[in-house]
Structure 1
Amino acid sequence: MTDTVLPGAAAGAQNRERVRKSLTRRHRNETLFRWAGILSIAAALGFVAILFGMILSKGLPSFWQSTVHFEAYFDPELIQGGPRPERADFASPADHQQAVNTWQRAVTMSNWNKIVETGLREAAPDFEIESRDLLELVTSAGRFQLRDIYFADPEVLGQTVPVSILASANTDNWLKGTIDRSQPDERQQLAATTRALADQFEENGTISFDFAWHIFTNVDSRSAPATAGLAGAFMGSLYMMIVVIVLAVPIGVASAVYLEEFAPKNRLTDLIEVNINNLAAVPSIVFGLLGAAVFINYFGLPRSAPLVGGLVLTLMTLPTIIIATRAALRAVPPSLRQAALGLGASHNQTVFHHVLPMTYPGVLTATIIGVAQALGETAPLLLIGMSAFIANIPAGPLDSATALPVQIYLWQGNENRNFFEARTSAAIIVLLGLMLLLNAIAIFLRSRLEKRA
């Protein structure tokens, strides 16, 4: 008997084979897509790890800086000005302050470099070195450090006091090995005797690597690069962020609430929405041009002022806050509005008492993310003059100042690249730390508000 295959059975077998091949192909594509996603994420994390690794490897050593420890003798024959003036019974406060200022000027004119030199020579009594080469070992701001010690306590006159002075930037480069030691003398930044003395001091402990607290407490310095710090730039960024928070948050939230809950749907509101979305994509440098033209040239606000920088960054941050707040408002269930209206609440009460509190987590997250983005902006600040060298910590938002990202830009272009390349990475670590802190605060507050809601 011969087996026969019915036409219907053959068609069913073909269909099953096609389905099997289709499933196999679909499963293969899903597997390839999943592995492509995994590889993409791994590549992105790898590049981020490389970036952070490079920044940390270069920047972390800058938080430890070479410091020279020696005994300084406050020689009465070298220090001018005499004793600090005492206030007489009949003298007014202004007269007394004038006398103190005169005394301080006289003290400042003393030969403090000689006191530094004497202390260094006593730390290496058998080492022959010229005075100029010896003073190259320490930062030029060391003499002012000794002067300030005397200002604080004139009783040290005639006494020997242990002091710690930062080594110069070139000495720090030499000891950290950022300069090729095999280069000939004419290619080196320090004299041969200075380099030899630095090595000797490092061996006997006269020079040690201490944590560089001055990075957080000092302002930028051109005359003494080793003492350059971020205090001025940090305060400038702080004032700008205060302006951004005070202006951008209420204006942005109010605009979003009006457009989403109260504004009529017509061509005008459609045009406003399109422009807000377009402003979110405008390059930041355009806002800098706008700030220079409007706030400085038209309104006459001072250049390099944190107030102007804050206003420019506010314009940049507003679209982000408006768009995020509107998205949070749309995410509120319509049933909440209907229930409030059904219980007799007015439109205003429904929005401000029931709908808006539900959006606090999203609004807060958008605000902090917008502020963190503004904290890292550089281009618009360059156009309003915040790239100027500022030697003092700004006392208010109208004083001349710079900002952390601008300070990073300025240090990166410094001629002493061996020293400031690492210092730039240290400043980037500080800036990234602040941005990570802001994002961590946003996540924490968002989780707390979501639990309450």
Structure 2
Amino acid sequence: MTNSANQQNSSQASSSMNRSATTEKVKRSLTRRHRNETIFKTAGLLSVSLGFLLVFSLISDIVVKALPAFHQHWVKLEIDYRADWLNLESLDIEALKSADYRKVLKESLKVMNPEVSGRRDKREFAKMVSTNAEFRIKDALIASPELLGKKAQVWVKLDDDIDSYLKEVGVSGEAGVRVSEKQANWVKGWYDAGLIEKRWNTDFFSTGVSREPELAGVQGALMGTLLTMMVTLLLSFPLGVAAAIYLEEFAPQNRWTDFIEVNINNLAAVPSIVFGLLGLAVIINLFGLPRSTPLVGGIVLTLMTLPTIIIASRASIKAVPPSIREAALGLGASKMQVAFSHVLPMAMPGIITGTIIGMAQALGETAPLLMIGMVAFIVDVPGGVLDPATVMPVQIFLWADSPERAFVAKTSAAILVLLGFLMIMNSSAAFLRKKFEKRV
């Protein structure tokens, strides 16, 4: 009995030690697991925070650099519309349009600052106003012909170098970058006399491209982008959705459909510039469509966007439960009715999401559009899809490559406009997606 009791006690002690060891092992395992989870959560939080910090830093840098582009300095000139300076042969409107307003500007500047002497000083003084000053003087006279032979006060833009100097340095009277000490003193004199005024730069949104930074605007590029995206959407959305419906609902499973699916997936990874080469070789050279037009740009971007829309649409259609199809077929609906009346409405939110991704990708593309000539210097704002045009990404690329300092602010401001355009487009698509989700 004693040996049996000793054995039982030994067995209980051994079992207790094993349980204690197991409990300790479980505790160590739980501690290690909790530590790993904490490390993973911390790493994830740091990654997300770093991402937000980088995005915030990028947006903040763009906004700070873009702010100078949204206001412009103007100067008030006293213009003397003397007939002998205008070299008028008659007093009709056509004669006023062809008058010598450059001479009027130069002579009026001499009268305003008679102390400016010497050929070099006069040239520096004349460069302080924008190159379109004479056109503003011309527009003022044509709008009010009764000013002929009288003096009038006309507001004109300052040159981009003077404007940048005022934005960066202010009215200090000291020389700046590309601004001489004499020009700085002349500017200070104008400012002290109340002739300089800072205004909201509405021309940035209402004018086209220009080689002069103070005159350059985004209206032409913005309209070209809108027309190009409209062509892209009108072509890519119905073609992409139709292809996805056919491949998922009607196409037989054979080697030809497998070949098509493989090529669609491969096209999604093709560099965008290849589509530009395709557009140049086929759409322009073979079919003879005009270069640098939103129609050609939209077709090229459609070719690039189609694989993305087809792949996303197929995945959305495939996610529709088979019971929906079976129930519709059981009630006597045809395959066509099932596809367009039941499957497509339920898959539409996902299809719109894929379309958003494809259009956002197309909105930021530059390389394929450069190949078809949308990099051309086009002053006029396009009025249709067959008019020469450029787009916002190409305009940003051109301004970023310009040597003038004022184009740095113009570039950042154009980036903000492009981001705003993208947000409006995505917001509209999100509204449509929610609308279809509620309907389903």
TM-score by structure 1 length?
A: 0.88
Residues 122-271 of structure 1 aligned to structure 2 (within 5 Å) = 130-177=121-168, 188-222=177-211, 224-271=212-259
Q: Which runs of 5+ in 2 are unaligned?
A: none
In structure 1, distance between residues paired with 2:358 and 2:368? 15
Aligned counterpart, 1:340: 328
Residue 346 of structure 2 is aligned to residue 358 of structure 1: yes
In structure 2, distance between residues paired with 1:241 and 1:159? 50
**Structure 1 residues 182 and 207 mapped into 2: Cα distance closer, same or farther (>3 Å)?**
closer
Aligned counterpart, 1:96: none
Residue 370 of structure 2 is aligned to residue 379 of structure 1: no
Which of 414, 424, 431 is residue 427 of structure 1 equivalent to? 414
Does the 8 Å CA contact 1:175/1:199 hold for their aligned counterparts?
no
Q: Secondary structure at the match of 2:78?
A: strand
Does the 8 Å CA contact 2:370/2:394 hold for their aligned counterparts?
yes
Q: Secondary structure at the match of 2:77?
A: strand
Residue 65 of structure 2 is aligned to residue 49 of structure 1: no
Aligned counterpart, 2:72: 65
In structure 1, distance between residues paired with 2:319 and 2:197? 59
In structure 1, distance between residues paired with 2:67 and 2:258? 51
How many angstroms does 1:124 deviate by? 5.4
Q: Secondary structure at the match of 1:298?
A: coil
Aligned counterpart, 1:27: 34
How many angstroms does 1:258 deviate by? 0.6
How many angstroms does 1:38 deviate by? 0.6
Q: Secondary structure at the match of 1:359?
A: helix
The higher radius of gyration belongs to 2
In structure 1, distance between residues paired with 2:324 and 2:191? 71
How many angstroms does 1:338 deviate by? 1.6
Q: Secondary structure at the match of 1:70?
A: strand
**Structure 1 residues 354 and 188 mapped into 2: Cα distance closer, same or farther (>3 Å)?**
closer
Which of 410, 413, 437 is residue 424 of structure 2 equivalent to? 437
Aligned counterpart, 1:89: none
Does the 8 Å CA contact 1:260/1:329 hold for their aligned counterparts?
yes
Q: Secondary structure at the match of 1:162?
A: strand
How many angstroms does 1:123 deviate by? 5.4
Q: Secondary structure at the match of 1:287?
A: helix
User: Would you say how many aligned residue pairs link Structure 1 and Structure 2?
Assistant: 429
In structure 2, distance between residues paired with 1:178 and 1:304? 40
| Letter of the 1:133 counterpart | E
Q: Deviations over 1:256-300 (max 9, x none)?
A: 111111111222212211221221122211111211121122222
| Letter of the 1:48 counterpart | V
Residues 233-312 of structure 1 aligned to structure 2 (within 5 Å) = 233-312=221-300
How many angstroms does 1:301 deviate by? 2.0
Q: Percent identity?
A: 47
TM-score by structure 2 length?
A: 0.90
RMSD over aligned CA atoms reads 2.5
Aligned counterpart, 1:90: none
How many angstroms does 1:378 deviate by? 0.7
| Letter of the 2:421 counterpart | L
How many angstroms does 1:342 deviate by? 1.5
Worse-superposed segment, 285-294 or 145-154:
145-154
Worse-superposed segment, 34-43 or 292-301:
292-301
Does the 8 Å CA contact 1:108/1:147 hold for their aligned counterparts?
no
Q: Deviations over 1:128-180 (max 9, x none)?
A: 6843222211101111122223334433323433322111111112111279x
How many angstroms does 1:362 deviate by? 2.2
Does the 8 Å CA contact 1:369/1:439 hold for their aligned counterparts?
no
| Letter of the 1:13 counterpart | S
How many angstroms does 1:428 deviate by? 0.7
